[in-house]
Structure 1
Amino acid sequence: MVGTGKDTPSPNATAAAAGAVRPGRLIDSPPTAAAPHGALLAITAVKPAGQDTVEVSTRPATISELLGQTWANIKRALDPHQIQITPQLKNLKATYVPNPDGADASASAALELDMSDAVPLPGGAQAALNGSLELDPSVMFSYQGSRGMLAPEQARVGFDLGAHARWHLTAGLTGSTGRVKIPVATLTASPVVMVGQVPVVITLNVTLCAEVSADGTVTVDTTQAIDGNWAIHADYTKTAGWTSTTEPVATTISPVNASINGHASVRTGLEADGSVALYDALGVKATVEPYLRADVDGTVSIDSANRVPTVQGQARLYGGLDVNGAVLARIAVLGTPLAEHDIPFPVYHHEWPILTRQFALPGAQPAR
């Protein structure tokens, strides 16, 4: 929609349209088939095109032009029924789980994805994946306008991703595989939030993948559970410019049942690659990956019903969380001068021990 377009009014509306379509006027469009992420444009020129039509030239407009001196602080939970789901596994089923505690920051239902599939791995191996993933995403937008139209005093755009996942992965891995991603689904939503009387389109995209990697020869049969809540946002102030923040409110990773056999370093995880943007132009993108990592030389077996793991050889298990991403800078959508590239933010990495190294000798009990 950026550039030159044509608007064809009805004959009775020609005079009114001629007055409404004029240079300087803003076009603030909700999502449509032609502009699935909405459109924020400013009319730069209007000229007759014949047969009661006009030819309109436009440029990208800024949020500051749209909102001016408005103040807003919005956090909106996404209605899961309005999330478009594109399955990446053959057997993926979507259901909606009622949330009795649904409030402003929590939807009345959560989206649950049930998965089951076998996927090929490098070297001719195969992994079997099944489990469920429950998501409770929300988007956030705050804005504090200032006098004039150059830039706001401050602004924030971001997303909050709450997730509960449980999945069972079995695989035989040989050599250095690198990180193998198993795509699960892509989720897209474009909610419209009202800032006073003005609609603002926020676009959220999330791609979900299971991930497995190994350096060595190992067989893996593990059932994992992950609970987490992660807030990712980009912030702007006149004094500091753009910064980004990761807020891992909570992350719990539990190897409910795991059997790992071989000599290798192996890692399994769940990756959420998400972005949120105003009119698909400025915002923040991030990859959130909670994972389980194991260094094994021998056999380790963990059963949630037995507090003492069985280890033959030696093993270390760790839970971890990686977050990396960037501020999306496509146009000067806030009126601030921005380069046409992404601005990376510092990587967040945290890892903690679940099981320290253990030995089991013949006839001896395993040590804790």
Structure 2
Amino acid sequence: MPKLSVRHALLATLASISLLTTGCSAAATATAPAAADVPSTSAPTPETGPSRQLAVAGAPEGRPTAAARSGKDGQARKSPLKVASYDRSKRRAVISTEGIGTSPQKPAEKAPAVGDIIASGPAPGAPDGLLAKVTDVAGKTSRGTEVATEPATLGALLGDDTARGTVPVDPAAVDVEPLVEGVKVSWAKKGNVHVGPQGAKVPLGSLRIDVGASVPLPVTEGAPVAGAASVAGHVQLSPEVEFSYDGSSVLSPDSAFLGLSGRWTSGWELKGKLTAGNKPVRIPFAKLHADPVIQVGPVPVVVNLDLTVYVQVAADGSVSVEVAQDLEGGFRVGGGYTKAEGWKPVSTSDMTGTPVRAKVTAAGKVKAALGAEASIGLYGAVGVTADLAPYLRGEAAASATPGSVVGSWKLYGGVDLSGWLQLQLSVFGTPVFQHRIPLGTLNREWPLASGEAALA
């Protein structure tokens, strides 16, 4: 057997073991190098031969499919095979060759065989895409060949190839579910295509969510935060998926990265009176979901994105506040792997804010955030979760003098970023880890305004 076939057999074996193993201790929480900073080690060696440098780009229309044949060199290639259906509970798929033409120059596509690894974009029964290894061929059906499968890994499919790139998420492909009344959605893309009341003002590639009506805070008895307070505003995002893989070493990848980055802008206003508690109250106002497919050479990689945009408020004492703020900046969250250090979290943000107006009366503290919970995974397996929360924080202190109460107040802008790496990042073909790895809380804060006044 040629050495290259032995190597790929070992890769496939290790991939199967890694998905069933729960060992390996959790890695530390230090920041990993950026995907672009991971050194490439894809030089040809006598053992493996030359590695392919694969392009990373948006996938073409339709349901792209790739397959790695068990009986050849194991390299992934584009395939006309399609996943006609998939039963997740039984892990059985029907693979169709319907509509595939033949000619002397293009022989008929062979039916799937035991040992083949198939990667597919979203398909019936597999809305998150499918990455699976054929373990048994049950036979022909009216729709194609029925096969039994088990989970596979990108490491087993990509082998010793390398890839690195960033792909924007098409805002038109994002599904938005409003959770409160008054939510409006806008986006714009190339070709002068836009949607929503703010469509003409939204930059290309951006998605904007407006809360047209105020989001009321709880006023029920015993609520952690109560009062006649409300939040209104908008959030605008231009998310991008970062992906890299370096499989030039034997048995497991040298490095890998999966992350979400992009630009964030928001403009919002908090107004009213908040009382007691100091327990944060979170009010989600929209859920977003997308399954962008990125093409890594011949392989369609299905990325699953979920975001929940929310308002969160906490107060201590009885505080009247009237604050409006514009925020803008970039963010980047994800997980990076190197063979020497295992998986490490990545979390950065460079947001800054400017207040439109600011006023606090009465003694106490208040903190209000307009943020987003995000998760990013591959083929339905969540790999990274993150909570990005730009906020405003105010505090007021009172001092009594005969006949009056005089107080001072201060306002701060800031951003909190936290989250986790998940076990499912082993889909790359890397060793698994036993526990979730925290991103580590990132906090940046800056002063906005201050003053003195008679307090109510």
Structure 2 equivalent of residue 69 of structure 1: 160
Structure 2 equivalent of residue 7 of structure 1: 94
- Measured after TM superposition, the shift of residue 268 of structure 1 is 1.1
Query: Once superposed, what is the RMSD of the aligned Cα atoms?
Result: 3.1
- The gaps in structure 2 that reach 5 residues or longer are 1-87, 101-106, 192-202, 222-226, 400-404
Residue 143 (structure 1) aligned with residue 245 (structure 2): yes
Does the CA contact (< 8 Å) of 2:171 and 2:187 recur in 1?
yes
Structure 2 equivalent of residue 308 of structure 1: none
Aligned partners of 2:372 and 2:99: how far apart in 1? 51
Distance change in 2, residues 1:159/1:10 (3 Å): closer
Residue 211 (structure 1) aligned with residue 297 (structure 2): no
Amino acid at match of 2:327: I
Aligned partners of 1:120 and 1:321: how far apart in 2? 21
Distance change in 2, residues 1:11/1:206 (3 Å): closer
Structure 2 equivalent of residue 365 of structure 1: none
Structure 2 equivalent of residue 303 of structure 1: none
The structure carrying a bigger strand percent of its residues is 1
Structure 2 equivalent of residue 330 of structure 1: 424
Amino acid at match of 1:108: L
Structure 2 equivalent of residue 274 of structure 1: 374
SS in 2 for 1:22: coil
Aligned partners of 1:243 and 1:353: how far apart in 2? 32
Correspondent of 1:121 among 209, 215, 218: 218
Distance change in 2, residues 1:360/1:47 (3 Å): closer
Distance change in 2, residues 1:180/1:11 (3 Å): closer
Does the CA contact (< 8 Å) of 2:246 and 2:256 recur in 1?
yes
Does the CA contact (< 8 Å) of 1:49 and 1:55 recur in 2?
yes
Does the CA contact (< 8 Å) of 1:320 and 1:349 recur in 2?
yes
Amino acid at match of 2:237: L
Structure 2 equivalent of residue 200 of structure 1: 301
Residue 286 (structure 1) aligned with residue 386 (structure 2): yes
Does the CA contact (< 8 Å) of 2:217 and 2:228 recur in 1?
yes
- Measured after TM superposition, the shift of residue 338 of structure 1 is 1.1
Does the CA contact (< 8 Å) of 1:267 and 1:293 recur in 2?
yes
Correspondent of 2:205 among 103, 109, 133: 109
Distance change in 2, residues 1:52/1:241 (3 Å): closer
Does the CA contact (< 8 Å) of 1:158 and 1:283 recur in 2?
no
Structure 1 equivalent of residue 411 of structure 2: 317
- Measured after TM superposition, the shift of residue 8 of structure 1 is 7.5
Structure 2 equivalent of residue 90 of structure 1: 181
Residue 251 (structure 1) aligned with residue 351 (structure 2): yes
SS in 2 for 1:332: helix
Aligned partners of 1:133 and 1:29: how far apart in 2? 33
Amino acid at match of 1:188: H
Does the CA contact (< 8 Å) of 1:99 and 1:110 recur in 2?
no
SS in 2 for 1:109: coil
Structure 2 equivalent of residue 154 of structure 1: 255
SS in 2 for 1:81: helix
Deviating beyond 6 angstroms after TM superposition, the runs of 4 or more aligned structure 1 residues are: 10-13, 49-53
Aligned partners of 1:219 and 1:52: how far apart in 2? 66
Correspondent of 1:260 among 360, 363, 378: 360
Amino acid at match of 1:83: V
Does the CA contact (< 8 Å) of 2:347 and 2:439 recur in 1?
no
SS in 2 for 1:239: coil
Amino acid at match of 1:264: G
Correspondent of 1:238 among 339, 350, 363: 339
Amino acid at match of 2:413: G
Deviations along 1:196-238, one digit per CA (max 9) or x if unpaired, are 1211111111111111110111122221211121111210011
Correspondent of 1:228 among 304, 315, 329: 329
Does the CA contact (< 8 Å) of 2:155 and 2:430 recur in 1?
no
Does the CA contact (< 8 Å) of 2:165 and 2:244 recur in 1?
yes
Bigger drift between 173-182 and 134-143 goes to 173-182
- Measured after TM superposition, the shift of residue 94 of structure 1 is 1.0
Structure 1 equivalent of residue 29 of structure 2: none
- Measured after TM superposition, the shift of residue 139 of structure 1 is 0.9
Residue 163 (structure 1) aligned with residue 260 (structure 2): no
Aligned partners of 2:109 and 2:320: how far apart in 1? 71
Give the alignment's TM-score, normalised by structure 2: 0.68
User: What's the % identity of the aligned pairs?
Assistant: 33
Question: Which of structures 1 and 2 has the larger relative contact order (alpha carbons within 8 angstroms, sep 6+)?
Answer: 2
Aligned partners of 1:54 and 1:258: how far apart in 2? 66
Deviations along 1:104-144, one digit per CA (max 9) or x if unpaired, are xxx83311211123424154534323222211111110111
Aligned partners of 2:134 and 2:371: how far apart in 1? 41
**Count of residue correspondences:** 341
- The gaps in structure 1 that reach 5 residues or longer are 101-106, 300-310, 363-368
Does the CA contact (< 8 Å) of 1:6 and 1:55 recur in 2?
yes
Does the CA contact (< 8 Å) of 1:182 and 1:211 recur in 2?
yes
